[in-house]
Amino acid sequence: MSEAREVNGAQKKAPMREVLAEAAFQLFLERGFERTTVDDIVARAGVGRRSFFRYFPSKEDAVFPDHESCLADMTAFLEAASDESDAVDVVCDAACLVLRVYSTNPEFSVQRYKLTREVPGLRTYELSVVRRYERMLAGYLRQRWVEATDGSLRAEVVAASVVAAHNNGLRSWLRSGGEGDAEDAVDRALRLVRRTWGEGGDGAAAPEPQQEDVVVMVATKGAPMWRVIQRVESALRDG
């Protein structure tokens, strides 16, 4: 029986990555980000420095412990997407994977949002993470639109639009203290992107202009207009 209890206790033990992230975040809230050292974090978690750097390259990474796994999930989602699906719908749905990370633990997400607003270094780090998401979405769209004349440009513009819309809805929810429905806030923002850039939207690629024939004619000065018109009509008919 005691052996079974030990097994069950081991199964319930939180992964070291989560233990370190929780210890780090508690200290950031108690002492402030700048005043907290890696030594403080590992002392709170009850492990050595080597354990910390096995999971996190820096203190900043400990504030965003879930983004690496979210990037991996997004990569898998995009790779599994059907080529028959609307590319804009796919990237909008992929962006919602990030939302789920935040909405799973609203209290932590709101506290982290407040912390990143207070610490310029964390804000810079967060922007670099957001840029990685944007590059991933743009890369997927470039592959889908590789044959389009403006495919690369559209990919960059649409990816930036998706990220901007997602962040607008997400931050609106975070500023409210995590009140209300996070998914509804983000869905409303992404609907604008889908309407504008999705299949049939206003931002869809315009058809290539048809090449037009050009007629160049030289007429003598003082020639009557009826003669000029007659020669133009003849040129168009014969051409």
44 in a domain, yes or no? Answer: yes
Q: What is the pLDDT of residue 193?
A: 95
pTM: 0.74
If asked whether residues 80 and 46 sit together in one domain, one would say no
Kindly report the CATH number assigned to the domain that includes residue 6.
1.10.10.60
If asked whether residues 39 and 130 sit together in one domain, one would say no
**Phi, psi (rounded to 5 degrees) for 38:** -65, -35
For residue 51, give the amino acid letter: S
pLDDT over 60 (residue 89): yes
230 in a domain, yes or no? Answer: no
160 in a domain, yes or no? Answer: yes
Query: In which domain, by residue range, is 41 found?
Result: 1-62
Q: What is the pLDDT of residue 3?
A: 45
pLDDT-derived band at 231, boundaries 50, 70, 90? low
Percent of the residues in the chain that have a pLDDT greater than 90, as a whole number: 60
Q: CB 228: neighbour CB atoms within 10 A?
A: 13
pLDDT over 70 (residue 235): no
Q: Report residue 85 as tokens.
A: 């699906």
Q: What is the pLDDT of residue 6?
A: 43
Based on the structure, what is the number of domains in the chain? 2
If asked whether residues 4 and 71 sit together in one domain, one would say no
pLDDT digits (tens, 9 = 90+) for 137-182: 999 999 999 999 899 999 999 999 999 999 999 999 999 998 888 8
Q: What is the pLDDT of residue 192?
A: 93
Q: What is the pLDDT of residue 205?
A: 42
Kindly report the CATH number assigned to the domain that includes residue 130.
1.10.357.10
If asked whether residues 31 and 70 sit together in one domain, one would say no
Rounded-to-integer distance, Cα 1 and Cα 199, Å: 61
Q: Which of 10-24, 34-48, 216-230 has the lowest mean pLDDT?
A: 216-230
Mean pLDDT on 5-10: 44
Rg (CA), the chain: 29
pLDDT over 60 (residue 127): yes
24 in a domain, yes or no? Answer: yes
